[in-house]
Amino acid sequence: METENNKNVDDYYRRQSRVSSTFDIRSLDLKICIEEFNKSAKKGVILCNEKGIFDSSNPDEIAQFLYDTKGLSRKQIGEYLGQNQKTLVSYSQLFDFAGLEIDDALRVFLSGFQLLGEAQIIDRIMDCFAQQFASCNPEGNLNETTAAVMAFAIIMLNTDLHSGKLKQQMTPAAFIKNFRGVDSGKDFPKAFLLGIYERVKANKLKFNEQEMKLTAFCSPQKQGWLIKEGGRIKTKRKRWFILKDGCLYYFESPEHNEPKGIVALERNTQVRSIGRSSFEIFNQDHSSLKSNKRVKHGKVVQGQHANFMLHGENEKDTQLWIEKINGAILALTLASRHDKQSVSEYNPENENILEE
């Protein structure tokens, strides 16, 4: 049975989903910046500035990037926000907490980054959260000061109830007792505090990367092994390929998190069968494919490939790769014509215009 607080949080996400992202997820530069950010937030921000993704001197633009961009490491976002107060303030102001209970609002707030650092850093983050929560709920029973106290207490309660390290958990009575006189010398209504306790007990707030693993490669159009031919040196290497959001990524294996290279499909990109189990990716105008690859010491360089020659595991799998890549290219074309057409939502199996 769906709980009331889950409905409130779901309503929040439905409101937010109406706002389209400022950043083009199909931009190859953006994908490279995401990779760099996920290794080092500071270096990622510098690279984003160099690539023209945003102005790194503008905390509002950085905050919008952190808020909008899928695939960013929650750990790196948390570290950056903890060290950059102006960006933290701007980031907090992007949330609309109107009508949410404070624990639900905190759950939404912490879904975007991993809470890290010393107590002083957590205090600063909770202060910014509290300011925005109180601003969004001016008629509520929490002001900035009491909201900050409450937010920190909720984090402590969550740890107490769900860490598994304490033999004796905090009781509802003990939680309520902690707030005696906090509301300008008065007590909060017991029903209000008990509601927070019960919701946190029933639904753990997730703080770390392992609990809320966000990845840029979930739900791909297709993934699997392909043999890739080299460019100038005609070597053949078996790589794990993922087709996602108009890009073809290849990895050393499924266990590796960082791609060895990326090929960005474009509207003039084509794919054709070569024999029974091979296919070629190229641009119709004979220009170089938009690609990047990782070389020694993790350095990323721009590829100079006029084509990519790939070999599938068998004829059936090869034809499926061709069909899916053609579908991704077609989706890019439709997306450029119709803003409402989403690349990620497009399913080529619903169309009957793919070439055999």
Query: Mind giving me the DSSP string for 9-37?
Result: HHHHHHHHHTSPPSS-TT-HHHHHHHHHH
Q: What gap in Å lies between CA 147 and CA 318, rounded to an integer?
A: 57
Consecutive 10-residue runs of the chain (356 residues): their mean pLDDT? 54 48 63 92 95 94 94 92 95 95 93 78 89 94 90 86 75 88 85 94 74 53 91 81 88 80 88 93 89 66 82 94 92 62 41 32
pLDDT for 108: 92
Contacts of 275 (CB under 8 A, 6+ apart): none
Q: What gap in Å lies between CA 124 and CA 145, rounded to an integer?
A: 12
Q: What gap in Å lies between CA 13 and CA 181, rounded to an integer?
A: 34
pLDDT for 342: 38
| Catalytic (active site) residue 118 | yes
Q: Which entry of 118, 139, 345, 356 is annotated as an active-site residue?
A: 118
Contacts of 342 (CB under 8 A, 6+ apart): 335
Exposure class string for 217-246: b at 16+ Cβ within 10 A, else e: beebbbbeebebbebeeeeeeebbbbbbbb
pLDDT for 209: 47
Contacts of 26 (CB under 8 A, 6+ apart): 245, 246, 247, 264, 332, 343
Contacts of 250 (CB under 8 A, 6+ apart): 226, 228, 239, 240, 241, 242, 259, 260, 261, 262
- Rounded (5°) CA angle 195-199-202: 140
Q: What gap in Å lies between CA 246 and CA 50, rounded to an integer?
A: 23
pLDDT for 91: 97
